[in-house]
Structure 1
């Protein structure tokens, strides 16, 4: 006997990963939620291309809100690396969940992105001027 389909409860959330781009004046917020893994590779590729186009259009600051990410594998790490390359010589700002902070540390991506370990606050307002808060990345 099969179980009837039930739509996910938005109050409980879902393990399904999502990537959303939220443009604002002169900046771009990339919001990641749920499980960021290989199943999202096409969405992640599309988002990385949109970030690159956004930079070409003059948006300077890029921030990643990953505070609601429950799991991230190498596909997510590769996505963050592509974003870091797309914004050079500036740096992206990443607001990580615990799993993302761990991945940034073990992959040493924390050497090329600015990590803001602040669980509260308005990420969109903290994207800064595109330099990641510490100025341009070293060449």
Structure 2
């Protein structure tokens, strides 16, 4: 990793990579036959606050076990951590995190939110059957 003061032939570092010139965040709730899957992508930050609250309310109302797919998360701040804590507290079942990238795992460990969730290393997508398909 280098900063804007790095001396390389092409000049200072450019803003690129996860969390710097990242993609906008998105939240999708997919209702399955046996669980609700919340798919997070891009930058999960304060800009997604309203969508994260809506996803929490929707998943809570459905009442099925909740899985959070974080595979495409490029950045997460305290808004994302608060979302996961809120989900774990409100859910009737223990929340599962699937396909968690290293930077999100780090946040789960540092904040100890990971103790409230089940972090699963792999996910068999064939097990998840969306309702209506």
Question: Given the two structures, how large is their TM-score scaled by the length of structure 2?
Answer: 0.74
Structure 1 stretch displaced more, 73-82 or 96-105 = 96-105
The answer for unaligned runs of 5 or more in structure 2 is 1-21, 129-133
Alpha-carbon distance, 1:121 to partner? 3.9
Alpha-carbon distance, 1:100 to partner? 1.0
The reply on whether 1:34 has 2:38 as its aligned counterpart is no
Alpha-carbon distance, 1:98 to partner? 1.5
How far apart, CA to CA, are the structure 1 residues paired with 2:78 and 2:106? Answer: 12
1:49 to 50, 53, 57: 57
The answer for unaligned runs of 5 or more in structure 1 is 1-13, 127-139
Alpha-carbon distance, 1:86 to partner? 1.5
Alpha-carbon distance, 1:26 to partner? 2.8
Equivalent in the alignment of 1:11: none
Pair member with larger Rg? 2
Corresponding residue SS for 1:63: strand
Equivalent in the alignment of 2:127: 125
Alpha-carbon distance, 1:110 to partner? 1.0
Paired positions, count: 107
Is the contact made by 1:30 and 1:64 (CA closer than 8 Å) also made in structure 2? yes
Equivalent in the alignment of 1:113: 117
The reply on whether 1:70 has 2:78 as its aligned counterpart is no
Question: Given the two structures, how large is their TM-score scaled by the length of structure 1?
Answer: 0.71
Corresponding residue SS for 1:25: coil
Equivalent in the alignment of 1:97: 101
How far apart, CA to CA, are the structure 2 residues paired with 1:125 and 1:64? Answer: 14
Runs of 4+ aligned residues of structure 1 deviating over 3 Å after TM superposition are none
Alpha-carbon distance, 1:125 to partner? 2.2
